[in-house]
Structure 1
């Protein structure tokens, strides 16, 4: 949870496991309502980030500084959650498959076997990026 300097606005970040996405909400604190929601999928390269606005909110001025602050947080989330999706398509396919199969984590006991399998299909120069994106680990981690 992040509060803007004026304390009138707040950003709430929540991960939805069923949606495989981060939800970032720009909230108006005094009215306890969400004004804008950004949805940042982090598992499926085919799904793009989107925005949703509260249609019941009616017309409301949001200061530029506040909107910029929110957009900067959304941009940071897009960069960190989806950076691996900017790799070459064949690497994205391998990472996506590993994330699906292992749900983003792997036991230490299984790591050497999976690493050997990945080494067989991924060039050595790309190995670290693939393992980091799939598991948040490095090839040399034990």
Structure 2
């Protein structure tokens, strides 16, 4: 998926790498279809931090990227970090529970299995924390519905 920049010479290509459990956002120079900067945003492992890499294999050793384009790119990266890692700002004990659920269930729990997972969670997580844990792990509410928005909200 490409997102055009305010400067038509640049765009961002966004892709997900399953082996890396991370989102890749590439700032591309449109005319040459060349990635100039790549941001990597892991979304499964709280211990892995987002990184930014500059294209080092390019035959052109120096490229001036306008400040406005770089500021725009970093703003998009910041929003992606917030979107895909919001659950990691929960209390450490809840982050551990969410991480375990995401690993075990790969972020999805079927309607048929939801009640069993909820019953198991009620044995380990305090009732006031259930909405945040279910939203972060599965995008679900305690009544089995689906949520959207800030996963760190109580």
C-alpha distance in 1 between matches for 2:32 and 2:105: 42
Please provide the CA RMSD for this pair: 0.9
Alpha-carbon deviation of 1:87? 0.8
Alpha-carbon deviation of 1:5? 2.6
Question: CA deviation digits over 1:43-66, x for unaligned, max 9?
Answer: 000100011111124111111110
Moved more, 9-18 or 117-126: 117-126
Partner of 2:16: 15
Asked whether 1:49 is paired with 2:61, we answer no
For residues 32-47 of structure 1, what are the structure 2 equivalents within 5 Å?
32-47=33-48
Question: What's the secondary structure of 1:13's corresponding residue?
Answer: strand
Normalization by structure 1: what TM-score?
A: 0.97
Alpha-carbon deviation of 1:129? 0.5
Partner of 2:115: 112
Asked whether the 8 Å contact 2:7–2:69 carries over to 1, the reply is no
- Unaligned runs of 5+ residues in structure 1 are none
Aligned length: 142
Partner of 2:3: 2
